[in-house]
Amino acid sequence: MREEAVHNGKNCVPTVDILGIPIHQLTRKELLQLLKERLQQRLTTWLVTVNAELVVRAGDDPKVASALQKADLLVADGAGVVWAARTLGGVELERLPGVEIAEELVKWAAEAGLKVYFLGAEPGVAEAAAMELRYRYPGLLTAGCRHGYFTQAEEQYILEEIKGAGPDILLVALGAPRQELWLAEHQGELLVPVAVGVGGSFDVWAGRVKRAPRWMGNAGLEWLFRLIIQPRRARRMLALPRFVQQVLRRKYAGRRTGK
C-alpha cells in the first residue's frame, strides 16, 4: 500500500475550510466510488466523518487538529458542518452520516469479498454488530473483532493482530476524538486500505442505540434525538452553540476584512 493525494478523476478533490478543518466536497456516490478506486490502486485511505463537536474539539486541542490534518478524506457527518459550509463558503455539501457510510462500506465488502475488522465499543458489542451485519449482508468476511477497552500495554498485541488479519477495511469505534487520535498514530503502521472512525455505529448495529427518525435527520435535529434518548450527552452538546458562535464570528470577521 502507498500514500497519495486525493484525486477525483484527474482533479484534486476540492475542500471547504470549516474553522481550520478542510472538508472534501463529495457526494455519497462520489465518495464511495473514490474509496473503491483508491483501494484498487493500492492506496491507503483514512476517512473521517466530521461533525460540529469534532470541529470544536480540534479548535480546543492542537493534537486533535493535527490528527485531522493527517486524514486523507474528511466529509460532513452532521447538519452543523453542512450549514457552516454554506455560511462560510457558499458551498452546498451533502450530509454523509458516519454510520451510513460505514454500512455502505460493509455492503461493498460483502459483495467484493473484502475483509472487515471491527475495533471498539464495549465488550461483546463489536461481535454483536458484526453478527447483525453478516445477517444483513451474507458473505461478509470478518477479519476480527476487539472491544475498545484495552490498556496501553495491550495495544501492541492488538496492532499485531490487525496486521496479521490483513483487513481491507478497518472500522474503529472508540468515540471521537479518541478514534481519530488513535488512527493518526497507527494508520501509517497498519497500512489498512480503508480505515474510518465510526463512533457509536457498533451500538446502533447491535441494537443498543436507536438512530433518529429520518425526518429529524433531514431537518438537522439528530442531535436533539440523541440528547433525548441519551441525556448524559448534554455536556457534550454544549459544543453546538459554541460551533455556531465561532462560525458566525468567522463569517462577520471576513466581511469586515473584505474577504
Asked if 25 and 71 sit in the same domain, the reply is: yes
Please list the pLDDT of the chain residue by residue as tens digits (259 residues). 545 557 665 468 999 999 999 999 999 999 999 999 999 898 999 999 999 999 999 999 999 999 999 999 999 998 899 999 999 999 999 999 999 999 999 999 999 999 999 999 999 999 999 999 999 999 999 999 999 999 999 999 999 999 999 999 999 999 999 999 999 999 999 989 999 999 999 999 999 987 656 665 565 656 555 655 555 554 666 678 899 999 999 998 866 555 5
Asked if 68 and 104 sit in the same domain, the reply is: no
Q: Is residue 2 part of a domain?
A: no
Tens-digit pLDDT profile for residues 122-173: 999 999 999 999 999 999 999 999 999 999 999 999 999 999 999 999 999 9
AA identity, residue 212: A
Predicted TM-score of the model (pTM): 0.89
Q: Is residue 171 part of a domain?
A: yes
Confirm if 161 and 188 have CB atoms less than 8 A apart: no
DSSP secondary structure letter of residue 13: P
Omega before 177 within 30 of 0, i.e. cis: yes
Asked if 128 and 145 sit in the same domain, the reply is: yes
Asked if 103 and 204 sit in the same domain, the reply is: yes
Distance from the Cα of residue 158 to its chain's centroid? 21
From the list 221, 235, 230, 183, the residue with the least C-alpha distance to 44 is: 183
Domain span at 157: 98-209
Confirm if 126 and 146 have CB atoms less than 8 A apart: yes
Q: Is residue 3 part of a domain?
A: no
Q: Is residue 205 part of a domain?
A: yes
Asked if 129 and 223 sit in the same domain, the reply is: no
Query: Residue 219 contacts by C-beta under 8 Å, 6 or more apart in sequence?
Result: none
Asked if 104 and 187 sit in the same domain, the reply is: yes
Asked if 195 and 247 sit in the same domain, the reply is: no
Structural domains in the chain (count): 2
Asked if 107 and 85 sit in the same domain, the reply is: no
Q: What is the CATH number of the domain that holds 198?
A: 3.40.50.2300
> Angle at the Cα of 109 (from 104 to 113), degrees rounded to 5?
160
Asked if 200 and 104 sit in the same domain, the reply is: yes
Q: Is residue 1 part of a domain?
A: no
